[in-house]
Structure 1
Amino acid sequence: MTVLNTGTHIVVGVDGSDTSLGAAKWAAAVAGKLGRTLQLVYSTTHPVRVLGVGDPTLDQQLTESLTEDGARILSTAVDEIRQAAPDAHLTTLLGDEAPAATLLDAAQDASLIVVGATGRGSVERWLLGSTASRVVGRAHCPVVVWRGDPADPAPDTRPIVVGVDGSPASAVAIESAFEFATLTGAPITAVRAWSDEFRVDAVTPDAVPIAGPAAMLVDWDAVARGEAAKLSEFVAPYRQRFPEVTVEEVSARGSVSRELLRALDDAQLAIVGTRGRGRFAGALLGSTSQNLLHRAERPVMICRGGDTDPS
């Protein structure tokens, strides 16, 4: 199955910040390559729900003010995107629910959701208080948390880094990486790190943790070869399907987050998988995904786990 090549449109959240505008321009470039409509979404919760205002006149005034502010932000974003991509097919949505709810409603049939990582909706605040965690955890499609240079946001030909661990979520991430590489003409750096939770299934059928003195008896060269072979095995079906994409395989004994961030230094985008919808906030704590979202200086795409058949 395909990942990015499904859905009818791409959804991007805007909030008036430079970073959200950069995210919107990046999303517009991707939408153009995919032949998709880009929907710009701004949401402001009704003032009664936020402030507890009970006076009907004041409530109406606040509602009109917030609506005008949102319409202005959307209009400015459309104008900016038109300058960068005159042929972009754009629509806008001004919602009055919580931002996460509005984005998810807008993305029911979307290929991708894009949100900016700084500004009035920073990823740190979102992860704690919860727009990004709710969007990533509940979305039916991949979500990009965008961080980069707002003055030069477009995708380019630098490598795309993808985390590979053999899980269904990883399969979705690999699929997305190859599709994105095909769109941009970029190479892929496929990264597998295996020391932090090393298990001997790399060299034997039994999955038994190794720690303490037993680790001194392990033939680590053989383990390294086994892990590299597993990486090649996971990536091979996609190499066959996308022969035009150049792939570098990196299998390293080390922290998964560290190896991904190291590879991302010279790359444009990191793509990783995460577990299924609905329990993301708990599953993310301390995870590779959270480390990337907090520390990466490039966009990070989070792909929900699923049953992706590469054949």
Structure 2
Amino acid sequence: MTLRSVVAPIVVGVDGSAAARHAVRWSAGEAARRDCPLRVVHAHTWPTRRSRARYAAEYGYRRALLSRARRWVDEGVALARGTAPAVRVEGDVRVGSVVELLREESRSARLVVIGAADRGGPAALWEHATAAKLTAQGHCPVVVVRGQPGRAVHRDGPVAVGVDGSLASGAAVGFAFDAAAAHGVPLIAVHSWHRLLADGPLAALPMRQGVEADEEWLLDRQLAVWERRYPGVAVRRVVTRGRLIRSLVERSAGAGLLVLGSRRRGVSGTLLGSVEQAVLHRMPCPVAIVGAGAQG
């Protein structure tokens, strides 16, 4: 009997990097809070014939690759157990692509977690592409854990969520309430609006006030059902005029987790939306991306 047959686990992917170790620590803490198991997994592919030519013994090289993969997973398991001794942890090594492994794991997972290095360039593009594919093709929320040594991450800070009235946003709000309840922290619901007729210096004040009232009603409506389900979660509403990205970054300072909804579904998703990409670049805290069909 595996851990997954008992209760849905959190799954974290590792690759031996500092970012992956940071993701393992966060995942172990999250598993302890949610009282669920943790799976530490790694997927690797055999090298192509062209790259194998550098090695005299293909068999020996394959054994070395497999040994390295197992070492990374074993180190991740040990780190998770040291971080949260009460959490049940298991490791797994598979041959194949990272996305295929994590997508399959997401079928029975509560969360899938990946680490993101604090740098730009090709590495960041690969990490964002992985998150985009998992969000589009996976079956549970995806959490991207960034490590920024120069900026403090408040693990016990509030949970922040972006709200825009869409179906994906509704799924994100539900996930955010559940996370806030698990952590015992408040929830910050951020809604930003921009309408040409009610914006700019020529807009009449009564018109703008009317639009603001409409937007506040929209936010209240999307929060209402979740407030009834989670009466113990304190909610702070934030309705601002302007770009959602700026509002999220400014209003979520000090958050322990930021939750975003993603409309991207289907097998072709390879890029995150502009809001998700910008937030991943700017926010030091972990970012959860919840697809409209995700089951957390």
TM over 0.5: yes
1:15 is aligned to 2:15 = yes
Structure 1 residues 77 and 307, CA gap change in structure 2 (3 angstroms): closer
Partner of 1:253: 241
Rounded Cα–Cα distance in structure 2 between residues aligned with 1:297 and 1:256? 17
The match for 1:299 among 280, 286, 296 is 286
1:280 is aligned to 2:281 = no
Partner of 1:166: 165
Partner of 1:90: 89
Partner of 1:100: 99
Cα distance per residue 1:124-165 (max 9 Å; x no partner): 3323xx323222221110000011468xx9984311110111
Residues 39 and 91, structure 1, Cα contact 8 Å, conserved in 2: yes
Cα distance per residue 1:224-278 (max 9 Å; x no partner): 1221122112111111111100000000001101111112212111101001422
Rounded Cα–Cα distance in structure 1 between residues aligned with 2:227 and 2:217? 14
Rounded Cα–Cα distance in structure 2 between residues aligned with 1:148 and 1:18? 9
Rounded Cα–Cα distance in structure 2 between residues aligned with 1:53 and 1:17? 23
User: What does 1:205-284 correspond to in 2, within 5 Å?
Assistant: 210=197, 216-217=203-204, 219-278=207-266, 279-281=268-270, 284=272
Rounded Cα–Cα distance in structure 2 between residues aligned with 1:175 and 1:137? 19
Residues 26 and 155, structure 1, Cα contact 8 Å, conserved in 2: no
User: How high is the TM-score relative to the length of structure 1?
Assistant: 0.82
Rounded Cα–Cα distance in structure 2 between residues aligned with 1:125 and 1:276? 17
Rounded Cα–Cα distance in structure 2 between residues aligned with 1:213 and 1:179? 38
Structure 1 residues 9 and 108, CA gap change in structure 2 (3 angstroms): same
- Determine helix, strand or coil for the equivalent of 1:36: coil
Structure 1 residues 94 and 154, CA gap change in structure 2 (3 angstroms): farther
1:177 is aligned to 2:176 = yes
Residues 118 and 146, structure 2, Cα contact 8 Å, conserved in 1: no
After superposition, the CA RMSD in angstroms is 3.0
User: How high is the TM-score relative to the length of structure 2?
Assistant: 0.86
Rounded Cα–Cα distance in structure 2 between residues aligned with 1:173 and 1:48? 40
Structure 1 residues 252 and 214, CA gap change in structure 2 (3 angstroms): closer
- Determine helix, strand or coil for the equivalent of 1:174: helix
Q: Which runs of 5 or more residues in structure 2 are unaligned?
A: 1-5
- Residue 123 of structure 1: how far off its partner (Å): 3.5
- Residue 60 of structure 1: how far off its partner (Å): 1.4
Partner of 2:28: 28
Residues 48 and 59, structure 1, Cα contact 8 Å, conserved in 2: no
Partner of 2:127: 126
Partner of 2:116: 117
Rounded Cα–Cα distance in structure 1 between residues aligned with 2:53 and 2:41? 28
Partner of 1:80: 79
Rounded Cα–Cα distance in structure 2 between residues aligned with 1:212 and 1:115? 39
Residues 10 and 107, structure 1, Cα contact 8 Å, conserved in 2: no
Instruction: Report how many residues are paired.
Output: 285
